[in-house]
Structure 1
């Protein structure tokens, strides 16, 4: 394929994409397939010669769409969304066409400088005070790992990078039981170790108890361990739990510990001022992460990490051999030094298009609708006999169950086999529950109210 042919096929792809999105409501949200079905339809060996694009296209349309879980389906209420607003999709196409590798300022000046400005726009949008800067990552997992690695090095006087961890003090990291598994992964990959990730008990509101955090830190100090940092939860993945951010930060700061706040999903809602009390005190954090690709509409991947002071993270993750130097430009920002990968795509373009195309008020209206519709769907389920709301709506996330676990599991299976909506399970205090999260970019109230309608129809009530 040459660029003239790419022009033709790109237009055909755009037409296909328009029709695909227009017809999503007619498709089941989750493909009714069994493992291996797609692989068995593909040749076992690669072709020796070129094949006609028409044949490749026909195979794509025959094999791929019907074998996908449709994340852009307006009745996708599982996990958290990976939204792709049309304006963001367009920006991604342009970024793909330029195919820049934005590891350094000199390799992509516009990408670097636009990233700096977009971080500033988003910090203002979510109400963070002036002075926060930051960077874009692929996902919250990478951002949290970056923050935990930085905590590790600060606790070790930046000697771990050179000397390794053998013979170093035993580090301790603190988080609540409601934090995402990415925190566990960061503890493992950073060398801190799973056993040294202290899960602080939560109170009746599922928030980390500040007094118990203080007690855990004091106990570790008395045992000769070295506390290195605290990770707080703002909108937990399972049921949407929020730690008492301000109170927990106060405890951490009293012990001289840095704080990372994981707001991967709920951070998008903070563009609405009325939701900011949920993370009151966040301005005291050292690092804050949220994913615009979840609820704000930026096409995956696009995670924002705000930093009070980037110096410790750059000192931890930065490495500048001679072949990555920019002659005469020693003080410029090279964002590869702020994160783990060297290579970086042009993510900021998606944010620039997205925010300009919809405006903050347009994005706020969507989030407010999702929250209101989730509450309405929750109340409709509550009114059905035999349905228990296990956790009340946290923004647009709630859970429900039937009296018997086997019945709950059977209902969930029936819901997803039916295909009209897609929900997923979680466990809350040991109990299997069905999790509902409203956040797909193009969903409507009618789509959301299909949740209680589907449950009623399948239960025969």
Structure 2
């Protein structure tokens, strides 16, 4: 059989790998000259990439060149020091190399016997994650690809724990069951709504508990809602509390909420996808919420620990609950077990699983707890600097605060709310279109705000200063003010 372009000898693989690493080195060395994003007409972008299925292989150099020319310039560069949208995550260099190693080994970590060291390593890093998040180390735990699915899996286990084992056999339809209820704040992530849809609760039975002036769930309102539902004959199943809400970085009062759940016999799931690791930062160690009493917990190493995407940890203090929901072992998947083994396929619906543990192991070992803490503290310091700078500017305001490095700010000239909201939206649109930085937004009770998330491992004080200068210059130009100093 003739050799095809993709049939590389190991030496050719190494040669191409060196070339790729050189390209990536150049990318990072000049990253501040790279636009965070370049707007392009959607039809034009689609047309530039549209092509017939290739009949014959293409040389790798051509593929790499096309990637650099047609794809990379029109991405949003989440790994850019001036990317501050959504939750600013970043992939560190050890994590990037670990991802390469993982792809090369291509291990399927579904069973202990399908990848013994992968499963053993997953247990190790999940223990480290629990320790860093302040959660019981003996809890069941598993790595999944994102917090949305982790919440779905946790609520599936909560549902089955509330209804008993018959739900696995008989399901939900056509049975004489009470109305099942979920509870979360009106600031919770949309993944909770999606879980309510997927698991058969329905959005009508997802109770949105009101929040206080700092956008935190009100425990007394939660308890009243649960007790009202109990009196009405409904079945409260689970509460989802949040440590680091998406809109404003609010932290629900989790110990008080845990007390409500314990008194009413309701499962508590804590979404700490963003907030779960900031307790490592010395200045926040005494201020973050205690998550240890949650029945289940999700944290995202890929949000805060400089690990490439799709590295989320789901922990469950109710031992066996996840397996009670998801364990289903076909004959071809049976294997010998002892006290050391764990088959991670039993803790979620997913069978084929990538070797996610390796990138956590590499990054955590490379930086160490102290190194991660220093970098997290640096992000906190940058966010505090920006808040102070905004507060010192007469026409700018931070309408809500957060202990986390998520800064919500707004330009507030003498204008009505509609005009003010429109102006702030235009500021975001112009800034993002410029490629100089990227931010996102949310809408609070009193209007539109600009969200600045700080967490990229490469971000410096100069990057944040440049962002602040750009925001003021755009606002001044649009509102005919003197140019920002």
Q: Which runs of 5+ in 1 are unaligned?
A: none
Deviation string 1:1-51 (CA, Å, 9 cap, x unpaired) is: 223322211111111111111111101112221213332123431121222
2:453 to 432, 437, 440: 437
Map 1:15-414 onto structure 2 (within 5 A): 15-166=22-173, 167=175, 168-272=177-281, 274-327=283-336, 332-403=341-412, 404-414=420-430
- SS of structure 1 residue aligned to 2:37: coil
Structure 1 pair 282/264, CA: closer, same or farther in 2 (3 Å)?
Answer: same
CA contact under 8 A between 2:214 and 2:400: conserved in structure 1?
A: no
- SS of structure 1 residue aligned to 2:95: helix
Q: Which runs of 5+ in 2 are unaligned?
A: 1-5, 413-419, 477-482
- SS of structure 2 residue aligned to 1:36: helix
1:418 corresponds to: 434
Aligned residues: 461
Deviation string 1:296-323 (CA, Å, 9 cap, x unpaired) is: 1111110011221330111101111111
CA contact under 8 A between 1:425 and 1:432: conserved in structure 2?
A: yes
Alpha-carbon distance, 1:288 to partner: 1.1
Q: Distance in 1 between matches of 2:346 and 2:288?
A: 29
Deviation string 1:221-244 (CA, Å, 9 cap, x unpaired) is: 111110001111101011001111
Please identify, of 164-173 and 296-305, the stretch whose mean Cα deviation from structure 2 is larger: 164-173
Q: Distance in 1 between matches of 2:352 and 2:204?
A: 32
Q: Could you state the TM-score of these two structures normalised by the residue count of structure 2?
A: 0.92
Q: Distance in 1 between matches of 2:392 and 2:113?
A: 60
Structure 1 pair 263/178, CA: closer, same or farther in 2 (3 Å)?
Answer: same
Please identify, of 271-280 and 397-406, the stretch whose mean Cα deviation from structure 2 is larger: 271-280
Q: Distance in 2 between matches of 1:127 and 1:274?
A: 16
Structure 1 pair 276/143, CA: closer, same or farther in 2 (3 Å)?
Answer: farther
Structure 1 pair 300/147, CA: closer, same or farther in 2 (3 Å)?
Answer: same
CA contact under 8 A between 2:278 and 2:376: conserved in structure 1?
A: yes
Deviation string 1:159-197 (CA, Å, 9 cap, x unpaired) is: 222212122221001111111111111111111111111
CA contact under 8 A between 2:214 and 2:401: conserved in structure 1?
A: no
Q: Distance in 2 between matches of 1:434 and 1:354?
A: 31
Alpha-carbon distance, 1:133 to partner: 3.8
Alpha-carbon distance, 1:82 to partner: 3.1
Q: Distance in 2 between matches of 1:256 and 1:28?
A: 52
Q: Distance in 2 between matches of 1:191 and 1:276?
A: 39
Q: Distance in 2 between matches of 1:393 and 1:208?
A: 14
Structure 1 pair 273/435, CA: closer, same or farther in 2 (3 Å)?
Answer: same
Q: Distance in 2 between matches of 1:200 and 1:368?
A: 32
Alpha-carbon distance, 1:277 to partner: 4.2
Q: Distance in 2 between matches of 1:332 and 1:243?
A: 36
CA contact under 8 A between 2:431 and 2:438: conserved in structure 1?
A: yes
Alpha-carbon distance, 1:330 to partner: 9.2
Structure 1 pair 157/387, CA: closer, same or farther in 2 (3 Å)?
Answer: same
- SS of structure 1 residue aligned to 2:438: coil
Q: Distance in 1 between matches of 2:48 and 2:204?
A: 45
2:463 corresponds to: 447
- SS of structure 2 residue aligned to 1:19: helix
Structure 1 consecutive aligned stretches of length 4 or more whose deviation exceeds 6 Å: none
CA contact under 8 A between 1:384 and 1:456: conserved in structure 2?
A: no
CA contact under 8 A between 1:104 and 1:335: conserved in structure 2?
A: yes
Structure 1 pair 373/69, CA: closer, same or farther in 2 (3 Å)?
Answer: same
